[in-house]
Amino acid sequence: MSLDVTLSKYCECCGTKHEVYDANITHNLGEMAGEAGIYQALWRPEEIGIEFAKELIEPLTDGLNALLADPAHFEKFNSENGWGMYEHFVPFVRNYLEACKKNPKAKVETDR
């Protein structure tokens, strides 16, 4: 099972959807995300009122900073089966954050 995140822009004249970013990560990283304070921002953004990419910039920045500040702590949450590792989660968060910065008006969509 996994989390799919998508940033989409919609054409103002016709409503056509254009995906500008998409990524996928295992649910095994949910506990690590929670420890970094970004579980809801990633898995359930609609529950905390996040609709657009610009609204993810602050929480993802804070979460990434937390992850980078103490790798040893977060590596304790690595999945025993290898599906859900710190070394994969950090680039996922970093790339998603950069996509949000490049597309602040994009709509945030998740599929879990």
Q: Find, among 3, 112, 103, the residue nearest to 53 by Cα.
A: 103
Distance (Å, whole) CA 8 – CA 64: 22
pLDDT in tens, the chain (112 residues): 899 999 999 988 888 999 999 999 999 999 999 999 999 999 999 999 999 999 999 999 999 999 999 999 999 999 999 999 999 999 999 999 999 999 999 999 999 9
pLDDT, position 70: 98
Range of the domain at 69: 2-111
pLDDT at 84: 96
Residue 73: predicted pLDDT: 98
Please count the structural domains in the chain. 1
- pLDDT on residue 1: 83
Beta strands in 1-112 (DSSP E): 2-10, 17-26, 107-111
> In this predicted structure, what is the pLDDT of residue 85?
98
